[in-house]
């Protein structure tokens, strides 16, 4: 079955770049859309953006200027970079797979990783 | 951006009873609406998509209804494992947006 696992630093300093990787197992990363979602502590869910295995991306407009999502099909991974972080970027970051229908709902999620922005 | 509003923020229901959660969209999302359940410390789990289709492995006590701007998630007979936070999500327009969640607690 599909499994996703986030990895990356749990602590990032303000103004620096947050970098996370999602490793996919159980299915090829090709032929699907993949996404990043985040959840600040005690708050709701925010969709950051998604990528198709071809490299086509789409980002939430509020984060677009700071976000880059990329894919490495040879490693079956996709990644998130968020620049110029502030304390408001502290959140649990989830990677997930968009449904095979192409509709943007999420049946497969990673366990999430907490990233804290602090000096 | 479509704003999703869930009500109530917190719902207290006794085990075995029915729970009804609401979600309203600021403009029509057709039937492109999903529901998720999230327990503390866990990732969300997809319950419903297409407003009324249960995801794989979801018990029949969970049902979704509605279209356009008004949606409902009903849990027909609450089990102990159902007490959690529930989110609706529209995927009719980009950016995809979530409601703020309804916390379902045991009465």
**What radius of gyration, in Å, describes the C-alpha atoms of chain A?**
13
- Compute the Cα dihedral for B43, A98, B99, A94 and give only its sign: positive
Q: Which residues touch B26 (CB under 8 Å, ≥6 apart)? A: B2, B3, B4, B5, B69
- Please determine, for residue A62, whether its predicted confidence score (pLDDT) is greater than 90: yes
Interface test with chain B among A45, A63, A111, by most B beta carbons within 10 Å = A45
B chain contacts of residue A109, beta-carbon cutoff 8 Å: 43-45
A35 class by beta-carbon count within 10 Å (0-12 exposed, 13-18 middle, 19+ buried): buried
Nearest-CB residue to A105 (from B42, B89, B95)? B89
Separation CA A65–CA B85 (nearest Å): 31
* CA–CA gap between residue B64 and residue B70 (Å, rounded): 11
User: In which band, very low, low, confident or very high, does the pLDDT at A101 lie, cut at 50, 70 and 90?
Assistant: confident
pLDDT-derived band at A102, boundaries 50, 70, 90: confident
Whole-number pLDDT of residue A31 = 80
Reply yes or no on whether the pLDDT at A23 is more than 90: yes
B91 CB-near residues (< 8 Å, 6+ apart):
A103, A104, A105, B29, B32, B33, B34
Q: Among A58, A117, A9, which Cα is nearest to A47's?
A: A58
Instruction: Please answer whether residues B3 and B25 qualify as being in contact, where contact means their C-beta atoms are separated by less than 8 angstroms.
Output: yes
Average pLDDT over residues B52-70: 97
Contact A45 B95 (CB under 8 A): no
ω into B8 cis (within 30 of 0): yes
pLDDT of A84 higher than 90: yes
Contacts of B99 in chain A (CB under 8 A): 44
Nearest to B79 by CA among B63, B65, B61: B61
């Amino acid at each position: 079955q599909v499994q996703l696992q986030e990895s990356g630093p749990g602590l990032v300093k303000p103004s620096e770049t947050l970098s996370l990787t999602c490793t996919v197992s159980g299915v090829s990363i090709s032929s699907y859309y993949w996404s990043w979602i985040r959840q600040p502590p005690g708050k709701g869910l925010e969709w950051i953006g998604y990528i198709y295995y071809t490299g086509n991306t789409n980002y939430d407009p509020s984060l677009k200027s700071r976000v880059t999502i990329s894919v490495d099909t040879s490693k079956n991974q996709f990644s998130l970079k968020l620049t110029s972080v502030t304390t408001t970027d502290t959140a649990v970051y989830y990677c997930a797979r968009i449904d095979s229908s192409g509709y943007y709902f999420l049946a497969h999620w990673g366990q999430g990783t907490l990233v804290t922005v602090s000096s | 951006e479509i704003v999703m509003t869930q009500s109530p923020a917190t719902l207290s229901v006794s085990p075995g009873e029915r729970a009804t959660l609401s979600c309203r969209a600021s403009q029509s999302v057709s039937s492109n609406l999903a529901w998720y359940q999230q327990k503390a410390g866990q990732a969300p789990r997809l319950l419903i998509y297409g407003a009324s289709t249960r995801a794989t492995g979801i018990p029949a006590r969970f049902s979704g209804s509605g279209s356009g701007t008004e949606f409902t998630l009903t849990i027909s007979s609450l089990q102990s494992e159902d007490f959690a936070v529930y989110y609706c999500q529209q995927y009719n327009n980009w950016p995809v947006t979530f409601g703020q969640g309804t916390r379902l607690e045991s009465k």
